[in-house]
């Protein structure tokens, strides 16, 4: 497994990480443990969860902590705070909220430190400096090693960097946003700001909830156990233009001996500003496929052609 720097931190993470959103929702403890075991066997050491990831089966953080057990120090754990249902939690960036949530996350994860603690959504009701000062205190206390953000714009990332510099506070080392071959708007805004600051990008939804695995075909019913089926036939992930691109990628992949999944994961993992590709999984077999895809190293010409084909 290829390893990459986590932004400008000293941490080295696998080029593909495990997105743990389905733990507690679609995956029980037995399934979660099987996924974690498969990840470690594949050389994956990066696991991304959040305090809001939970479902009828349980809490993602707790299931992940249980699955890791005494192997916790062999991995890099990222978790998040400050999200509500599909957006920012009211006052989710406030000091009181952060101090409360970090203790819950530590307890559920069964650890005394978090490697990467991320602000899940910008909080318009809380000054950014308050959020950063609270996170700095956690770093000084040893409860958090590094901090990151998620769903920030380039301007919000730059504002946070300016405040951290002016007040001698810890800087965000990563920015986690929706990014894939079919969702590339951050290239115009967030990526340039991140590159100026040495911040690593952590793409989530890199496979567009399965559309970029190549297993779905236009006009054919989606498997009932698939996420696209559960989300109302694909929701915003599916359109005729997107199917056009997937079909073009499939044709090109056939020419060079790689699947659509290989192209989607390999393209992201090869980008120098991407630290790790966060891919959600529900089965050990998906872990193995993602790991193999991210380990493929496309040539410059192949990267350019993949990028061209995926232009919306």
CA dist list (Å): 114 to 52, 72, 110, 182, 262: 16, 10, 10, 31, 31
pLDDT tens by residue, 241-258: 889 999 999 999 999 999
Which domains does the chain possess?
3-209+264-296 (3.20.20.100)
pLDDT of residue 285: 96
Regions of the chain short of the pLDDT cut 50 = 229, 231, 233
pLDDT of residue 312: 67
pLDDT of residue 229: 47
pLDDT of residue 230: 53
pLDDT of residue 237: 76
- Could you give the residue numbers annotated as active site? 53
pTM: predicted TM-score of the whole model, two decimal places: 0.93
Pairing of strands 200-204, 54-55: unpaired
pLDDT of residue 105: 98
For residue 231, give every residue at least 6 positions away whose Cβ sits within 8 Å of its Cβ, in sequence order, or none: 209, 237
């Amino acid at each position: 497994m290829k390893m990459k720097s986590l932004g400008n931190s000293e941490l080295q993470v696998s080029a593909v990480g495990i997105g743990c959103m389905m733990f507690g929702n679609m995956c029980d403890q037995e399934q979660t443990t099987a996924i974690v075991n498969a990840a470690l066997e594949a050389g994956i050491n990066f696991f991304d969860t959040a305090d809001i990831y939970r479902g009828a089966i349980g809490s993602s953080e707790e299931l992940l902590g249980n699955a890791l057990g005494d192997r916790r120090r062999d991995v890099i754990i990222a978790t998040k705070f400050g999200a509500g249902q599909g957006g920012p939690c009211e006052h989710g960036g406030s000091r009181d909220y952060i101090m409360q949530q970090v203790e819950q996350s530590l307890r559920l994860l069964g650890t005394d430190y978090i490697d990467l603690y991320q602000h899940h959504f910008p909080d318009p009701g809380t000054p950014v400096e308050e959020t950063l000062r609270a996170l700095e205190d956690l770093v000084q206390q040893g409860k958090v090693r590094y901090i990151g953000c998620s769903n920030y714009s380039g301007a919000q990332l730059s504002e946070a960097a300016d405040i951290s510099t002016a007040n001698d506070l810890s800087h965000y080392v990563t920015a986690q946003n929706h990014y894939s071959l079919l969702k590339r708007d951050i290239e115009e805004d967030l990526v340039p700001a991140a590159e100026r600051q040495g911040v690593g990008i952590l793409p989530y939804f890199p496979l567009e909830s399965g559309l970029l695995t190549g297993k779905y075909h236009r006009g054919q019913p989606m498997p009932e156990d698939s996420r696209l089926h559960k989300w109302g036939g694909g929701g915003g992930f599916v359109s005729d233009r997107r199917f056009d691109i997937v079909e073009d990628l499939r044709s090109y992949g056939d020419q060079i001996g790689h699947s659509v999944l290989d192209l989607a994961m390999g393209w992201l993992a090869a980008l120098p500003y991407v630290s790790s590709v966060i891919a959600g999984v529900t089965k050990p077999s998906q872990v193995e496929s993602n790991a193999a895809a991210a380990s493929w190293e496309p040539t410059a010409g192949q990267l350019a052609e993949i990028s061209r084909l995926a232009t919306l």
